[in-house]
Amino acid sequence: MGRETVPIALIKGDGIGVDVCEAALRVIDAAGDVCGNAPLSYREIKAGANYYRSTGRDIEPGGEAAAGECAAIFLGAIGLPSVRHADGTEISPHLRLRDRYQLYAGVRPVRAYPNIPRRLSDPRAADIDLVILRESTEGLFYSAAVHGRSASCDDNAVEDTLRITRTTTEKLHRFGFQLAARRKQEGRPGLLTCVDKANVFASMAFFRRIFDEVAGEFPGVTLGYNYVDAQALDLVRKPWEFDVLVTENMFGDILSDLAGGLVGGMGMAACAEIGDTTGLFQPAHGSAPDIMGQDMANPLAAILSGAMMLDYLGERLTDSLLAEAAALIQDAVRRGFNENRLRPVEFGGDMGTGMVTDEVVSLLKAP
């Protein structure tokens, strides 16, 4: 009998999504060979702008349900600016996956690595190591066009709704506190900052009130508060002072791109979207059509998202070998930059998608 595998739903999507997905799978499988964890098997699901262009559907029939039957979902990138619905919005079936599986906790680590050109001249920028926790099912994205929930759609006015619910917000904040507590154990400050606009919007005051309620359960975590506009400023002025930031969906969308820029670019921006029953893992960047098909995409965001998936699976399936494989990949990337063996084109280096992937695989095999 063959060994039991861990089934993963695989959506490669569009543009560089396809290349970085393939790179991540190579690394995940190589880490599995080294650690001896249960191998992953992939159920590929067709979705995205190219699929829409040729079929009129944004995801294959039954694809949404099939994704939820696997242990996790891995996604490359979805959408192309040249393929749009009549209202001008892009093809976004992944937003329905977030909604359907209530993937409320969008975890976006932002970490500086050595030998990547610094965007900030202050030497403390070398210490940037924070996580943006972006709520990913409601907030202003509650009325993302793909859900068809906008209030009035005529030529005079269109209203979108920013929705904050107690159930989701309690879960989100609890997730944030647990993350800050776990990071504290690993030597980080254990500081959770609530980023909102509680001085203007009732929804945001509610978001902050629930933050304060949940805080009582986690006395070991230090609390911080920031309005989102001040947070944008502080992310440029003193990002090294932050640990975990918890925020509404749209704010998190914008701040995580800003933060990604601080540590190099979107090619390092990994992302996990976690719900109660499954998780979706994808690089936080899009399909980057300007560089697709040129072996120029930095696959590290996807590779690090793969490590986050292994870490998640390790915890869910109580399989320490999967968690070891995750740590091995993270360590290989860290060591690769330390030793200047990873030099992606994105940062002016000489290594395209294939070469970066090859190098990570060799770093895994020779720790």
Enumerate binding residues for ligand ATP (CB under 6 A).
16, 20, 79, 265-267, 285-288, 290-291, 297-298, 301, 346
Of 91 and 192, nearer to ligand ATP (C-beta) is 91
Active site residue 229: yes
* Inter-axis angle of helices 249-262 and 228-237, nearest 10: 10
276: helix, strand or coil: coil
For residue 216, with 0-12 CB atoms within 10 Å meaning exposed, 13-18 middle and 19 or more buried, which class applies?
exposed
Measure Cα distances from 333 to 51, 53, 110, 197, 327 in Å. 33, 36, 14, 36, 10
Q: How far is the CB of 291 from ligand ATP (least distance, A)?
A: 5
Of 16 and 210, nearer to ligand ATP (C-beta) is 16
Closest residue by beta carbon to ligand ATP: 286
Q: How far is the CB of 282 from ligand ATP (least distance, A)?
A: 10
Output phi, psi for 351, to 5 deg.
Answer: -115, 120
Of 272 and 313, nearer to ligand ATP (C-beta) is 272
Q: Pairing between strand 222-227 and 191-196?
A: parallel
CA angle (137, 177, 28) in 5-degree steps: 65
Of 239 and 352, nearer to ligand ATP (C-beta) is 352
Q: How far is the CB of 169 from ligand ATP (least distance, A)?
A: 25
Task: Report d(CA 208, CA 192) in Å as an integer.
Answer: 12
Q: Active-site residue among 197, 243, 311, 312? A: 197
Q: How far is the CB of 98 from ligand ATP (least distance, A)?
A: 14
Q: How far is the CB of 137 from ligand ATP (least distance, A)?
A: 18
Of 322 and 356, nearer to ligand ATP (C-beta) is 356
* Closest of 108, 75, 141 to residue 262, by C-alpha: 108
Q: How far is the CB of 171 from ligand ATP (least distance, A)?
A: 25
Q: How far is the CB of 104 from ligand ATP (least distance, A)?
A: 20
Active site residue 197: yes
For residue 223, list its beta bridge partners.
Answer: 192
Sign of CA dihedral 230, 232, 237, 239: positive
For residue 247, list its beta bridge partners.
Answer: 134, 195
Q: Active-site residue among 184, 253, 311, 312? A: 253
Active site residue 312: no
Q: Active-site residue among 229, 276, 290, 365? A: 229
Q: Active-site residue among 29, 257, 331, 358? A: 257
Of 176 and 264, nearer to ligand ATP (C-beta) is 264
193: helix, strand or coil: strand
Of 78 and 328, nearer to ligand ATP (C-beta) is 78
DSSP per-residue letters across 100-144: HTT--EEEEEEE--TTS--SS-SGGGGG-EEEEEEE-SSBGGGG-
Active site residue 14: no
- Active site (catalytic) residues: 142, 197, 229, 253, 257
